[in-house]
């Protein structure tokens, strides 16, 4: 078995971010699988084009390419059914789709507007130009202007996390007593921020912060032991 994962890296290749790549890294660890890393940068489109992809993560399994983080998690679940489950069966998998859609619609853009201004500092010049241009187009303002009100915007952001807060204050993980892919999906967003920005998204007494710490402890501190800001 040969697993290789294209991962987004910064100018310093030890700087590993992308919320979507983190979802897959956590999924691989939960499945007790090791993948060889292929560092990738935003502007290296040519490197992944042969795999039908224009962004990462891309997982290569014995040469077969699997794209998009949720599809990769499903692929791992189906390809390695005897290893710890990422979904705990069909209903868990189907509802994890909703968690994925919520994270992508609410958490990713909410975090992005606050940390993009810091991400750009971690990129090599070519990637930084690409990142600034595409993100400023998407948000219709400079990265600095988007982030200018983040000290107040973070309060509204924290309110959008209320459904997550309600759950993790009454059970240790979003998925229940043990973490599963739904946890990895949301955690990826926070780990993206942790790896790229000193800006504090959560208050110390937020139950989500306690859950994030539990996620950082998993797999021997896989997510904790990387270059990061807190």
Query: Contact residues for a copy of itself (CB under 8 A)?
Result: 87-99, 101-102, 104-106, 162-164, 166-167, 170-171, 173-177, 180, 182
CB 54 within 8 A of CB 20: no
Closer by beta carbon to a copy of itself, 89 or else 204 = 89
Nearest CB to a copy of itself, comparing residues 47 and 108: 108
Which residue, 94 or 144, has its beta carbon nearer to a copy of itself? 94
- Distance of closest approach, residue 94 Cβ to a copy of itself, in angstroms: 3
Cβ atoms within 10 Å, residue 205:
7
Q: How many helices (H) and strands (E) does the chain have?
A: 11, 4
Which one, 45 or 162, has the nearer CB to a copy of itself?
Answer: 162
Q: What's the closest the beta carbon of residue 168 comes to a copy of itself, in angstroms?
A: 9
Contact predicate 166/119, CB 8 Å: no
Residue closer to a copy of itself by CB (options 122, 174) is 174
Q: 171 or 225, CB closer to a copy of itself? A: 171
Smallest separation (angstroms) from a copy of itself to the CB of 99:
6
CB of 112 to a copy of itself, least distance (A): 16
* Least distance from a copy of itself to the Cβ atom of residue 102, Å: 4
Detail the DSSP E strand segments found in the chain: 3-8, 36-40, 58-61, 64-67
Report d(CA 187, CA 77) in Å as an integer: 19
Burial of 21 (0-12, 13-18, 19+ CB in 10 A): buried
Run of H or E residues at 54: none
Least Å distance between CB 147 and a copy of itself? 22
Selection from 198, 201, 42, 196 nearest residue 127 by Cα: 42
Torsion sign (Cα): 10, 13, 16, 18: positive
């Amino acid at each position: 078995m040969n697993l290789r994962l294209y991962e987004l890296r910064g100018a310093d290749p030890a700087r590993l971010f992308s919320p979507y790549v983190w979802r897959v890294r956590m999924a691989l660890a939960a499945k007790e699988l090791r993948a060889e890393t292929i560092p990738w940068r935003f502007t290296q489109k040519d490197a992944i084009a042969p795999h039908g992809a224009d962004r990462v993560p891309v997982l290569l399994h014995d040469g077969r390419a699997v794209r998009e983080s949720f599809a990769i998690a499903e692929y791992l679940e189906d390809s390695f059914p005897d290893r710890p489950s990422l979904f705990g069966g069909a209903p868990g998998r189907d509802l994890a789709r909703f968690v994925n859609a919520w994270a992508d619609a609410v958490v990713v853009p909410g975090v992005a507007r606050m940390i993009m201004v810091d991400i750009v500092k971690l990129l090599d010049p070519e990637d930084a130009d690409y990142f600034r241009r595409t993100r400023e187009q998407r948000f219709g303002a400079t990265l600095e202007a988007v982030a200018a009100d983040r000290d107040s915007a973070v309060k509204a952001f924290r309110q959008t996390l209320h459904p997550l807060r309600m759950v993790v204050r009454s059970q240790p993980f979003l998925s229940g007593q043990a973490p599963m892919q739904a946890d990895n999906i949301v955690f990826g967003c926070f780990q993206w921020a942790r790896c790229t920005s000193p800006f504090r998204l959560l208050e110390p007494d937020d139950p989500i912060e306690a859950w994030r710490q539990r996620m950082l402890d998993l797999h021997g501190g896989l997510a904790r032991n990387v270059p990061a800001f807190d």
